[in-house]
Each structure stands twice: as C-alpha cells, then as structure tokens.
C-alpha cells in the first residue's frame, strides 16, 4: 500500500496534488511520501517481530535512496543504515543514524573507508574476502581498535529480477564460500583486533519468489550451527535485502509477512542471535514517483506515436539499464480512450526510451505524468548525462512538502570544472 492516489481526477501524494509540486518546483522531480516510507518500514519490522525474530536491526540499504531527509525519516523511526562507501556512511551519520545502527558492506572497501567506519563505531563491517579481512585487521591495529566483523558468505543460490542484480551465485564477486568462512572465522577469533560477530548473506534484488530465499537462509542457519559446533561464538545473522516489489507487470511478490513467517520457521529454535536485514527497494520503491511533463507528442507518418517527456534516462535509468517496467500514470485522469505510444526522453540515445507501445490517454504539451515505483534506485542513479542538471527531490508529509534536494543551477553544474592550466 502506498499514498499515491487519484482524488477527484488528480493524482495526489498523500494530501498534496502532484500538480502543485510541479508548479512550484518544476519538472522533472522526484516526489516521496513520508507516510509510505513510515508504513513500509513499520510493516517490515513488525512482521519480523511477529515471526519471533526478536528486535532485529533493520538497516535500510542507503544505495536505494540516499537522500538525507529520507534517511532521517527512517532513522527517526529507529531504522539503521546499510552502507557501501564512506559517502553513504557520512549520509547516514548526517541523518542522525548512530554508528551502532550502521552496517558497512561492499567488495572494495579502501583503507581510508575502513578507518572511517571504525572511527564512526559502525555496528558491523561485512567482510567480503580474505585480503579484505587482512586489511581490516591491519587498520584496526593501527587505530588501536577492535573491528566488529561479519563474514558475508556466498550461498550459491540463483535469484533476482535481472542478471545484473543477482549477487548470490558462486561466480559473482560477492562474499566468501562457506569453507572459507569457517577457516577465516577461526583465524579472526584469535586476532585481538578483530571481533567476529557472525555471518551475512545477500543473494540479489527484486526477488519475487520465496524459494531461493528459503534455500539460502537454511544454508545460513546450517553455517551458524556448524561454527558454533566448532566452538565459535556467533551472535549476529544478517540476511541482507532483496525482497521484491510489484512494478505492476508481474505477479505480486511475497509480502513482508510471508517473508518474515518463512524466516521465523527456518530459524525456529536458533537462540542468542540478533538478526539484521538490509532492505532497500521494499521500503522505498513505492514511496516515490518521478514526475515529468510532456514536451510534445510526435506522431510519425507511419503511425508510431512518441510521447516526449522532460525526464530522461539520466534521471531514471532503470528501463534503459535493466529493461524494467514502471507504470506511467497521467496526473490528471481522464476517461478518454487510451492510445499506444512510446514514452521517450530528450537524451540523444535510442536507449532513452522508457517504454514502447504503452496504452495512455491522449496527452499533450504541458500535461504531467508520474513514473511510479521510482523511490528506489531512481534519484540515486541519476547523472548529468547530456549536461542535464541533477534531478531534484521533494518529500511530502500530508498537505505540506519540502524540497529535500534542490535543482542545481547551470552555474553550479559548471562550478567544479576549470580550464586546463595551459588554456
């Protein structure tokens, strides 16, 4: 459930007409619903608690939506942050999320980033490889600290909405094997600068089927039990993110309640464990839309209709990158007969096509459309390609809204560049 709905023929975000935001801020613009973020976080967390998983650390995957106001909205509810760079840790801290609720993951953490994370007092650093483990131990020793580490294992399970976002197969670059995890855990337990807390996995994103999750989680439980049988202390089990959302073209994915109940069943009787989760999309995707205006409708002599909008692949890259589907809704609803058109942006690439042959009511210059389910992996993946200023973001709360990232001016866009010394 989300808070984008038609009221009296006008698409609203909560109690705010989207047309009001477009008039005040211009388009393209991302619009997020505070109430939807809260609802998704609360539903996810409560489902886990109901399933008997104690008080989990729900660390929102910052990569899905890293706006500081969005992070603050979630952080104020008690959410943690799953981060993959110093920049993301800084964003989480700037949003008031304390180090003890921050998870630091990622396959290529630099020495500087590890030091920054340790000094910020993060809750766990998810170790992805043996060389990384050595580097973490070294940095912790130099700083005179003990690094809280969790081994990310690769459960060799195939899952995810698209090959580019599946992470849990042995051939992917993520995590260590179960055998390595056992050996490295034992080594780390003997190092005074390392504090091995537990194990983690993350098998992919936009997963709409419970089977791969269950297979991976059973293997994780087995790993915890075998590590304990060898005398090691395991107190943290991080089950990653990955739960899919409906993009309106596919069967509904499992609900957080079904997902949590399955985990409750798989983990029944496993004591003295704090569970951690790293959900991104399931919290943020349906809490945001990309609002755009029609520039013109170009009807070709042979009949193909191109609806050219002022948002482009640089603002929302998912359709170009993953062939992903986003529902497109006119902001002013009409009962006119829909017609098939291709929705495209102004960028000079054929790939700048959001969809082909989509049935939409007749639309013309100045009409507003909303790309739905764009709150995750939308603004964060935007660029200035074609020298288009970065798309702004707005957060709605009831009938008020606030610009939480403003549109840069052209001067700001050019400010970091300079002629070469010899020019």
Interface residue with ligand LLP among 64, 147, 261, 289 (CB under 6 A) is 64
Q: Which stretch binds ligand LLP (CB under 6 A): 214-222, 279-287, 303-311, 362-370?
A: 279-287
The 8 Å CB, 24+ separation contacts for 165-174 are 165/204, 165/205, 165/206, 165/322, 166/203, 166/204, 166/205, 167/202, 167/203, 167/204, 167/205, 168/201, 168/202, 168/203, 168/204, 168/212, 168/216, 173/107, 174/107, 174/128, 174/202
Copy the structure tokens of residue 125. Answer: 């650093």
Nearer to ligand LLP, 317 or 331 (CB): 317
Q: How far is Cα 42 from Cα 36, in angstroms, rounded to an integer?
A: 10
Contact pick of 123, 206, 314, 373 for ligand LLP (by CB under 6 A): 206
Q: What is the DSSP string of 101-160?
A: GEEE--TT--HHHHHHHHHTT-SEEEE-SHHHHHHHHHHHHHHT--EEEEEEB-------
- 60 binds ligand LLP, rule: CB under 6 A: no
**168 lies in the site for ligand LLP, by CB under 6 A:** no
The CB-of-156 to ligand LLP minimum distance in angstroms stands at 16
CA angle, 12 then 16 then 22, to 5°: 85
How far apart are CB 200 and ligand LLP at their closest, in Å? 8
Backbone angles phi, psi at 54, to 5 degrees: 70, -150
Rank residues 10 and 210 by Cβ distance to ligand LLP and give the closer one: 210
Answer whether 367's CB lies under 8 Å from 331's CB.
yes
By the rule CB under 6 A, 205 interacts with ligand LLP:
yes
Helices then strands, each counted (H, E), the chain = 12, 20
Asked whether position 247 contacts ligand LLP by CB under 6 A, the answer is: no
Q: Chain centroid to CA 279: how far?
A: 7
CA separation for the pair 421, 423 (Å, rounded): 6
Binding residue (CB under 6 A) for ligand LLP from 318, 326, 388, 405? 318
Report, in Å, the least distance between residue 133 CB and ligand LLP: 17
Say whether residue 75 binds ligand LLP (CB under 6 A): no
Of the two residues 49 and 163, which places its CB atom closer to ligand LLP in the complex?
A: 163
64 within 8 A of 376, measured Cβ to Cβ: yes
Decide: is 165 part of the binding site for ligand LLP (CB under 6 A). Answer: yes
Residue 418 CB coordination number (10 Å): 8
CB 204 within 8 A of CB 168: yes
Binding residue (CB under 6 A) for ligand LLP from 242, 253, 256, 375: 242
* Contacting ligand LLP within 91-110 (CB under 6 A): 105
- Choose the binding region for ligand LLP from 13-21, 44-52, 277-285, 393-401 (rule: CB under 6 A): 277-285
Compute the least distance from the CB of residue 155 to ligand LLP, in Å. 13
CA torsion sign, 229 to 178 to 214 to 197?
positive
Identity of the residue, 200 or 307, whose beta carbon is nearer to ligand LLP in the bound complex: 200
Q: Does 45 bind ligand LLP (CB under 6 A)?
A: no
CB of 101 to ligand LLP, least distance (A): 15
Q: Is 43 exposed, middle or buried (0-12, 13-18, 19+ CB in 10 A)?
A: middle
Least distance from ligand LLP to the Cβ atom of residue 95, Å: 17
Q: Closest distance between ligand LLP and the C-beta of residue 339, in Å?
A: 29
Structure-block tokens of residue 322: 């993953």
The residues in 280-309 that bind ligand LLP, with binding defined as CB under 6 A, are 280-282
User: In the complex with ligand LLP, which residue's Cβ is closer, 28 or 375?
Assistant: 375
Q: Binding of ligand LLP at residue 217 (CB under 6 A)?
A: no
- The count of residues in the chain is 423
Q: Is 231 left (phi over 0), alpha (psi -120 to 50) or beta?
A: left
341 among known catalytic residues: no
282 versus 360: smaller Cβ distance to ligand LLP: 282
Q: Is 61 a binder of ligand LLP (CB under 6 A)?
A: yes
C-beta closer to ligand LLP: residue 245 or 341: 245
SS3 (DSSP) at 212: helix
User: In angstroms, how far is the first alpha carbon of the chain from the final one?
Assistant: 56
Which range in 32-40, 86-94, 211-219, 238-246 contacts ligand LLP by CB under 6 A? Answer: 238-246
Taking CB under 6 A as the binding criterion, the range among 135-143, 247-255, 273-281, 393-401 that sits at the site for ligand LLP is 273-281
* Active-site annotation, residues: 348
Instruction: Enumerate binding residues for ligand LLP (CB under 6 A).
Output: 61, 63-64, 82, 105, 165, 167, 202, 205-206, 240-242, 278-282, 318, 322, 376-377
């Amino acid at each position: 459930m989300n808070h984008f709905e038609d009221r009296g023929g006008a698409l609203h975000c909560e109690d705010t007409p989207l047309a009001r935001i477009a008039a005040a801020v211009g388009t393209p613009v991302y619009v997020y619903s505070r109430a939807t973020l809260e609802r998704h976080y609360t539903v996810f967390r409560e489902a886990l608690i109901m399933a008997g998983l104690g008080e989990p650390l729900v660390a929102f995957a910052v990569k899905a939506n890293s706006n500081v106001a969005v992070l603050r909205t979630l952080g104020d509810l008690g959410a943690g942050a799953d981060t993959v760079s110093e920049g993301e840790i800084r964003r989480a801290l700037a949003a008031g999320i304390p180090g003890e609720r921050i998870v630091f993951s990622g396959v290529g953490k630099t020495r500087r980033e590890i030091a920054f994370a340790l000094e910020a007092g993060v809750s766990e650093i998810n170790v992805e490889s043996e060389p990384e483990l050595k580097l973490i131990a070294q940095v912790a020793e130099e700083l005179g600290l003990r690094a809280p580490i969790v081994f990310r294992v690769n459960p060799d399970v195939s899952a995810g909405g698209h090959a580019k976002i599946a992470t849990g197969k042995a051939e992917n670059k993520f995590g260590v094997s179960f055998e390595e995890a056992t050996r490295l855990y034992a080594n780390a337990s003997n190092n005074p600068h390392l504090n091995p807390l537990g194990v983690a996995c993350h098998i992919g994103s936009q997963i709409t089927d419970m089977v791969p999750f269950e297979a991976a989680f059973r293997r994780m439980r087995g790993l915890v039990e075998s590590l304990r049988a060898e005398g090691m202390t395991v107190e943290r089990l991080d089950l990653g993110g990955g739960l899919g959302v409906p993009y309106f073209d596919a069967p509904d994915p499992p609900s957080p309640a079904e997902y949590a109940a399955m985990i409750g069943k798989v983990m029944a009787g496993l004591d003295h464990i704090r569970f951690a989760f790293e959900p991104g999309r399931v919290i943020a995707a349906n809490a945001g839309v990309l609002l755009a205006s029609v520039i013109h409708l170009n009807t070709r002599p042979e009949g193909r209709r191109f609806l050219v909008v002022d948002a482009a692949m640089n603002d929302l890259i998912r359709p170009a990158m993953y062939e992903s589907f986003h529902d497109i809704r006119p902001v002013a609803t009409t009962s006119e007969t829909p017609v098939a058109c291709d929705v495209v942006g102004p960028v000079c690439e054929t790939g700048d096509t959001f969809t082909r042959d989509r049935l939409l009511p007749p639309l013309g210059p100045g009409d507003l459309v909303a790309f739905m389910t764009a709150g995750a992996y939308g603004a964060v993946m935007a660029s200035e390609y074609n020298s288009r200023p970065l798309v702004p973001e707005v957060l709605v709360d009831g009938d008020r809204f606030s610009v939480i990232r403003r549109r840069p001016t052209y001067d700001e866009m050019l400010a970091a560049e300079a002629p070469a010394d010899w020019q």
